[in-house]
Amino acid sequence: MAVTPIAYRYNGRPRWVWLVLVTMLLVLLCVLLATLHSVTAVAPLVDVGYAKYQGKQNNAITQWLGIRYAAKPLGKLRFAAPQDPAKMADTQPALQHGPACLSTSTSIESGTSEDCLFLDVHAPSKAKAGDKLPVYLFIQGGGFNANANANINGSGLIRASGMNVIVVNFNYRVGIWGFLASKEIAANGSINNGLKDQRKVMEWVQRHISQFGGDPNHVTLGGVSAGAGSVALHLTAYGGRNDNLFHATAAESQAFPPLRTVAESQYMYDNLVGRAGCNSTTARSKDTLACLRGMDTAALQNVNTKDPFPSRTRAPIWPYGPVLDNDMVRDYTYSAFDKGAFLKLPAVYGDVTNEGTFFAPKEAKTVDEMNRFVMDQFSRMSPNQVNQLAKLYPKAEQFPDTAAYWRSTANMFGELRYNCPGIYTSSAYARHNVTSSWNYHWDVLTEANAKSGYGVTHVSESPSIFADDKTANAIQGYWQSFIRSYDPNAHRNSDTPEWESWGKSGYERIHFQANGSTMETVPASQKQRCAYVSSIGLSLRQ
């Protein structure tokens, strides 16, 4: 019988047996370590306390779409502040976007619903609870009368950051559903519910974003158009009170709409009550607010038409909007920034070259028609003011299939609502000694828009910020850097120039063009126009 030499035995067993056992243990250890890593990374199933949401992974990014952040705003919660969502026992699929909120329209458009208070979370799949990744909380636009940028995909911005940020976007109530105001609603409901929906999402982020790997103490609040205007209103909310809900801001094509008081908004409520038949002599209509709340969504939407402002003949583009309620919104936006009643946080503001071309009527043939359109949008504008504006915006370049004063009207309206408010706000930061403030001018012109006259259109910078390209473009590189560090330069693309701050002397901004980016000083002609526009901003109730 063969005998195994003593050198090949250990504790009575052949050496090869021990080698097999050690190999098996190493394999098991590797599996265990991999398992431990996988359970520490954020799983697609996340528990937010009131519900468990099952997301989906795609190309190293996990998305949770259609998370309910507030209770259904129906019945008694119509025209009321958002409430916490009810608890849900079953796991909720978070695989598709929630419906957008109803717009100012007489129909219920596809993909919209009164039950619309949903948000999306986009995160790197490698993120772990406790990672404390910077968060970008984005407010879509739509003139406070629509959800115009619903279903933003944050994946491109996440990839541009090197998988180092989390993006949250959401829907909020607009039009009558979010901004109807009257003495009845003030007494038995809530004013500015669209803004309060936004605030509710900020609170949701503070409570829950750490479960997704985000840092509730590193939140950049961003927005586009009315969303950027909302950013300004949150900076000035409650007199500039700091509730530590966000820590920096980034505003694209910021809108400064005229603000009305509750009393000045009463006619809109009364007209809606009349169209809805809630002012009849029936017992049900003794309480007009209860009548409106009791109506079927489709029936109320069917009478959701636009009214002209008092003393005006044509309805404005956006009839509803934030209201001066002496609580959340205590002052006009121009006034609040002038007084310094805003949060002094790192900030980006900016605009595009031709903010007004989408909105101005192409049939504006004369100065009078231009003036009437602008006065229809700003009910407090006086004849003297509009005549002075007409001198600053003379007949402009002509384009096919448009009337003589289309571009002049677009230039005037664009600077009134978008360009000049951004320039003024950046200057206010400098006056109040906020040095971490940057401004941009997006001037990337396509050949088709150059020929048509539309130019560099409203919010055209936003697709580049969220682009899902393999190589981040210039503005996306600056944007993700700002989200990560509150500085657009710290992690910018290596082939882009330093984006200098607005500066103590002011009026320094980065100029984005198709062939590159450079710093520029706001042209003297625009400074002159905006000086007048900003000087009348308070009288226009902006």
Q: Which of 125, 225, 501, 517 is catalytic?
A: 225
Q: Which helix (H) or strand (E) holds 360?
A: none
Q: Name the CA radius of gyration of the chain, rounded.
A: 27
Output the CA torsion sign for 64, 70, 72, 73. negative
- Take residue 327 and report the two structure tokens written for it: 């609580």
Q: Which helix (H) or strand (E) holds 177?
A: helix 175-179
Give the 3-state secondary structure percentages of the chain, helix then strand then coil, rounded to 5: 35, 20, 45
CA proximity to 411, closest of 349, 351, 355: 355
Cβ partners under 8 Å of residue 282, min gap 6: none
The CA distance from 127 to 121, in Å, is: 12
Place of tokens 């002209």: 308
The CA distance from 85 to 386, in Å, is: 47
Cα separations in angstroms, 156 against 54, 165, 228, 485: 22, 11, 20, 18
Backbone angles phi, psi at 372, to 5 degrees: -65, -40
Q: Are 119 and 203 in contact (CB under 8 A)?
A: no
The CA distance from 363 to 365, in Å, is: 6
Packing angle, helices 383-392 and 367-377, rounded to 10:
120
The CA distance from 399 to 25, in Å, is: 77
Cα separations in angstroms, 450 against 358, 444, 457: 14, 10, 10
End-to-end CA distance of the chain: 103
CA 241 to chain centre: 20
The CA distance from 236 to 226, in Å, is: 15
- Residue type at position 89: A
The CA distance from 286 to 266, in Å, is: 17
CA proximity to 459, closest of 352, 365, 366: 352
Q: Which helix (H) or strand (E) holds 234?
A: helix 226-235
Q: Which helix (H) or strand (E) holds 26?
A: helix 15-40
Q: Is residue 225 among the annotated active site residues? A: yes
The CA distance from 257 to 333, in Å, is: 9
Cα separations in angstroms, 336 against 144, 237, 332, 542: 20, 9, 6, 10
Residues involved in catalysis = 225
